[in-house]
Amino acid sequence: MTAPTTRIVEVRAGILKKNDELARALRARFEAAGTFVVNLVSSPGTGKTAFLERTLTDLRARGLRVAALVGDLETDNDAQRLARSGAPVKQINTHGRCHLEAEMIEAFLEDWSLDELDVLFIENVGNLVCPASYDLGEAVRVAMLSVTEGEDKPLKYPTMFNSADVAVITKMDLAEACEFDAAAAHDAIQSVRPGMQVLAVSTRRGTGLDAWYALLEASRDGWRSARTSHTAASSPPAALHA
């Protein structure tokens, strides 16, 4: 018996290849169906659910067909809150997993007809680290932070903020009580992601939400024209402003 030999084999394969391929397939499905998908990420307690409940309610009132998938480790509390908007909502329980994956989105979409959805929101598990690595096939990723979390949050979690397309600062009604330095927060965001659009909102008071809806409409228009350039255009979806 001779001695074994060591041999080096090049692999050069993405570790998240499976998730990335699935996300690409989902993105193609969303584009074909005309469903604009928004992935909301933040730490726990930023106010994603309250913000999304309000968003679903308002967009429905504007005549848009919206729906939401919401991820949590356990409980369907968030789905129950979001369902008050009247929009179709499903809870994804990850049972310990700290993020949503493309596979879960695919499974939970099974009995929904994408052709009947204009905008699908995905509320990710509250976590500013892990969801950054997992593409869900979304068109836009929105990173959120609240005024109670500190202006330097983007510097502490640069990977997530860098991976996002838009930043939303929530709980602006508490800004004064928290001595929130808006300029410092903007600087921190621009430092980790130069040129990123930043919105400041108060879900409770309803401030800043029109700017949020305008941004969604503009992104959706941009996405739609990019989409029609390489896929056949179907019937025009409802406008964001009724």
Residue for token digits 């928290």? 178
Choose between 15 and 242: whose C-beta lies nearer to another protein. Answer: 15
Choose between 2 and 113: whose C-beta lies nearer to another protein. Answer: 2
Burial tier of 11 (Cβ tally within 10 Å: 0-12, 13-18, 19+): exposed
CA distance 79 to 213: 22
Choose between 114 and 155: whose C-beta lies nearer to another protein. Answer: 155
Binding site for another protein (CB under 8 A): 1-19, 97-99, 101, 129-130, 132-134, 155, 158-160, 162-163, 190-196
Choose between 20 and 76: whose C-beta lies nearer to another protein. Answer: 20
Q: Judging by DSSP bridges, how do beta strands 36-41 and 140-146 pair with one another? A: parallel
Minimum Å gap between C-beta 210 and another protein is: 27
CA-only gyration radius of the chain, Å: 19
| Closest C-alpha to 192, from 149, 153, 162, 160 | 162
Inter-residue contact 140 to 39 (CB < 8 Å): yes
Residue for token digits 């695919």? 106
Minimum Å gap between C-beta 196 and another protein is: 8
Minimum Å gap between C-beta 78 and another protein is: 20
Minimum Å gap between C-beta 91 and another protein is: 20
Distances (CA, A) of 160 to 43, 59, 117, 127, 236: 10, 27, 27, 9, 33
DSSP annotation of 131: G
Minimum Å gap between C-beta 116 and another protein is: 32
| Closest C-alpha to 92, from 46, 134, 36 | 134
Choose between 100 and 201: whose C-beta lies nearer to another protein. Answer: 100
DSSP annotation of 4: P
Choose between 117 and 132: whose C-beta lies nearer to another protein. Answer: 132
Minimum Å gap between C-beta 43 and another protein is: 14
Minimum Å gap between C-beta 100 and another protein is: 11
Choose between 145 and 240: whose C-beta lies nearer to another protein. Answer: 145
| Closest C-alpha to 202, from 234, 178, 229, 222 | 178
